[in-house]
Amino acid sequence: MTTTAITHISALVTNDPSLGDSSPLGLIRDAAVVIEGDRVVWTGASSKAPATDNAVDAGGRAVIPGFVDSHSHLVFAGDRTEEFNARMSGRAYSAGGIRTTVAATRAATDEQLSANVARYLAEALRQGTTTFETKSGYGLTVEDEARALRIAARHTDEVTFLGAHIVSPDYADDPAGYVDLVTGPMLDACAPYARWIDVFCERGAFDGDQARTILTAGRARGLHPRVHANQLGHGPGVQLAVELDAASADHCTHLTDADVDALAQSATVATLLPGAEFSTRAAWPDARRLLDGGATVALSTDCNPGSSFTSSLPFCIALAVRDMGMTPDEALWSATAGGAAALRRDDIGRLAPGARADLVVLDAPSHVHLAYRPGVPLVHEVWRAGERVVAPRSAPYGG
């Protein structure tokens, strides 16, 4: 296989504490990384890089692992601009707005939905996201949920069945009947296309008992649980996630001390989604409390048309540092290695020998610029599975 060395890297983030400065970021200064095929095979000082077939000069730029977005909702149609505008004028967010997107998604063709997914994924890739999870949840019928997952599976292996997003409008007067549908015919139709099962355990959506029933049924079909938990208020979502060994409890905005302790003592990752708080003017999750309590934290976009219409993990990093108590190092780790942990993957989110060669070259000397220069397009180029998929920007880097 062809080998490629990327040399003259000002600061290489490996996310491997055994490398570089022994910090969680495993930072190597004046570094190089060698790719063979789709894997990283060597990291170290640029002056000691082995001979390779190809060489790329990073020109003193920083290199980080590709971002891992472990929570998004990309199979949808329609627009909720009016809802956002009204909310920014004082109306509180509630789960009911999802119904607007459900109607538009049901009316869209497969081609329209697939084109939307491709569009937002390309947008995310240009901002450094090389792995993403995405969900169903805007169909809420057997046919529409299954087609959403079929479409999602064309674009990623990290596909989540979220038939339990809200109770379908068709079952507004029979929520128990909808739970039966989700755990029966809908699960039968959707399980072949998904790796994960998720539920919105929240007021206005599903209570703890309903969520347990849905997640347990999914687990019996080989789908691993994830949970939308504790976004709009205190509730049973986090405890349920830990009880069922869910890969992640997502949102985690309203937590008790017992919730934090449960997360810290489990393999369940607390996935924080600051785009949602930004877009709803809700209280920020307390990342500092979770980190100090010993929980593993991921950062993701929650890209969706209603409550967090951003595909930018750099933006989420800046929010987490500014408003959630995270350091720049912690926020970057959470958007890369943390996202990988939330997907129970050890081949991504790091740049150490054996990892998939997903990396981002920044037009900056340090990853800290992601928070230091919010809103600035700092991604110079992107490599995924050893292939350069976003070409270098033409302007030279000034250092």
Task: Tell me the pLDDT tens digit for each residue of 223-275.
Answer: 999 999 999 999 999 999 999 999 999 999 999 999 999 999 999 999 999 99
Note the maximum CA span of the chain: 69
Is residue 317 predicted with pLDDT exceeding 80? yes
- DSSP category for residue 206: B
Mean pLDDT of 310-318: 98
Is residue 88 predicted with pLDDT exceeding 80? yes
How far apart are the C-alpha atoms of 56 and 43, rounded to whole Å? 14
How far apart are the C-alpha atoms of 12 and 324, rounded to whole Å? 25
From 273, 274, 228, select the one nearest 247 (Cα to Cα).
Answer: 228
Identity of the amino acid at 170:
D
Beta bridge pairs of residue 390: 382
Q: Are strands 39-45 and 28-36 parallel, antiparallel or unpaired?
A: antiparallel
What percent of the chain lies above the pLDDT cut of 90?
Answer: 90
How far apart are the C-alpha atoms of 358 and 248, rounded to whole Å? 22
pLDDT band at 92 (very low <50, low <70, confident <90, very high): low
Task: Tell me the pLDDT tens digit for each residue of 94-109.
Answer: 545 788 899 999 999 9
How far apart are the C-alpha atoms of 316 and 310, rounded to whole Å? 9
Q: b/e per residue, 54-83, with b = 16+ CB within 10 A?
A: eebebbebbbbbbbbbbbbbbbbbbebeeb
Burial of 33 (0-12, 13-18, 19+ CB in 10 A): buried
Mean pLDDT of 289-294: 98
For the chain, helix (H) and strand (E) counts, in that order, are 15, 17
Is residue 195 predicted with pLDDT exceeding 70? yes
- State the chain's mean pLDDT as an integer: 95
How far apart are the C-alpha atoms of 224 and 283, rounded to whole Å? 29
Is residue 192 predicted with pLDDT exceeding 70? yes
pLDDT of residue 98: 81
From 302, 219, 293, 284, select the one nearest 256 (Cα to Cα).
Answer: 293
pLDDT of residue 94: 56
- DSSP category for residue 182: I
pLDDT band at 159 (very low <50, low <70, confident <90, very high): very high
How far apart are the C-alpha atoms of 240 and 202, rounded to whole Å? 12
From 304, 337, 297, 299, select the one nearest 315 (Cα to Cα).
Answer: 299
What pTM was computed for the model?
0.96
How far apart are the C-alpha atoms of 56 and 12, rounded to whole Å? 14
pLDDT of residue 105: 96
Beta strand spans in the chain (E): 3-12, 28-36, 39-45, 54-57, 63-65, 67-69, 129-135, 158-164, 196-201, 224-225, 227-229, 248-251, 269-272, 297-299, 359-362, 379-384, 387-390
The Cα-based distances of 149 to 154, 170, 322 in angstroms read: 9, 20, 35
Contacts 24+ apart (CB under 8 A), 314-317: 314/67, 314/127, 314/128, 314/370, 314/374, 314/378, 314/379, 315/275, 315/374, 315/375, 316/273, 316/274, 316/275, 317/370, 317/371
Is residue 93 predicted with pLDDT exceeding 80? no
Q: Is the dihedral of CA 240, 245, 251, 257 positive or negative?
A: positive
pLDDT of residue 81: 87
pLDDT band at 89 (very low <50, low <70, confident <90, very high): confident
Mean pLDDT of 339-365: 98
From 232, 172, 228, 174, select the one nearest 203 (Cα to Cα).
Answer: 232
